[in-house]
Amino acid sequence: MIVIVTGSAGYIGGQTMLVLKDAGHEVYGIDFRQPPEHLRGVPDGFLYQDFASDAALSWIIQKQPNAIIHCAGTSLVGPSVKNPSEYYNNNVAKTLKLLDIVKQSMPRCRLVFSSSAATYGEPIMNPIHEVDPKEPVSPYGESKLMIDMMLESYHRAYGTDYVSFRYFNACGADPEGRHGQEPGATHLIARFLEATRDDGQFSIYGDNYPTADGTCVRDYVHVDDIARAHALALYHKIPAGVYNLGSNQGFSVKQVIEAAGTITGKMPFVSTEARRAGDPPELTASPTKFDMVVGAWRHHNLDAMIQHAWNWYVRQDKKV
């Protein structure tokens, strides 16, 4: 197939390109950022543009892709509270422009969207199912939910074909060591491994939650599994709709730290800070809806996620 990946210079977009190329697809990337050196030879073509610019939209129409995997967008909870305008513009308004182009010029194109667990807010119970209440607590989560709603509205009204994936804590790195997170990533495993590598400090935000060990519990998904879910979504045997990408299993912050310390053989200085506003005690996903359609799609457990990420950080450190 001909596939365009927006946000292709990023963490999930870059891994998605690698998986698509491995599967033999013709892949094109769009990003307003220059791709890192290790991704520059991956796509069949790359456009250095905002995905919603006139040049990018014309380029997309010219390519007439079978599918667009839409990973571009602004994705941090805290900054979205301080500057919601940026999030509603970058995520909602620009995606609406892309949707209209698909409707008008590529009606048979499937749109695969990177949504988020942030659409659920603080869940009533865990694991979360797709039918559970959506009550986001940040403009970031609201923007992702708005796009999910737009996709479903366009599907009903115009027949626009889509799959939306709500990710739960993407982590890890390419198993072959070709791609990983950029320095300064904010995710738990990335922060801990960078602190370990640099002999730095790692902060736990709250150890008095109503969980088994007092720290937050989260559901972790390997970035390679997410990328392969994207590849599976290209095929129309997967009905249009929203799907959770999770594991139905949660790990606490302390459990992740213990596992990472065992794998790396090192431990940074760990401090405990006050809770952060908006952090629910537990957040895990039921992936049953997606599992029932595609069968087994998760290939990597927590140890593999940490090991692959650590391999990536060590490799990058050796390059410096």
Instruction: Return the closest-CA partner of residue 310 out of 273, 250, 259, 237.
Output: 259
Q: Tell me how far apart the alpha carbons of residues 143 and 83 are, in angstroms, rounded to a whole number.
A: 12
Active-site position among 87, 88, 120, 140: 140
DSSP line for 56-69:
HHHHHHHH--SEEE
Instruction: Return the closest-CA partner of residue 69 out of 23, 30, 120, 108.
Output: 30
Beta-sheet strands, E only, within 7-44:
26-31
* C-alpha dist (Å) from residue 95 to 60, 86, 107: 13, 13, 16
Q: Tell me how far apart the alpha carbons of residues 116 and 65 are, in angstroms, rounded to a whole number.
A: 24
Residue pointed to by tokens 């929203």: 242
* C-alpha dist (Å) from residue 277 to 111, 121, 269, 280: 33, 12, 24, 9
158 carries an active-site annotation: no
* Size of the chain in residues: 320
The one-letter code for the residue type at 134 is K
Both tokens assigned to 63? 């390519």
CB atoms inside a 10 Å sphere around CB 125: 9
Q: Which residues are catalytic?
A: 140
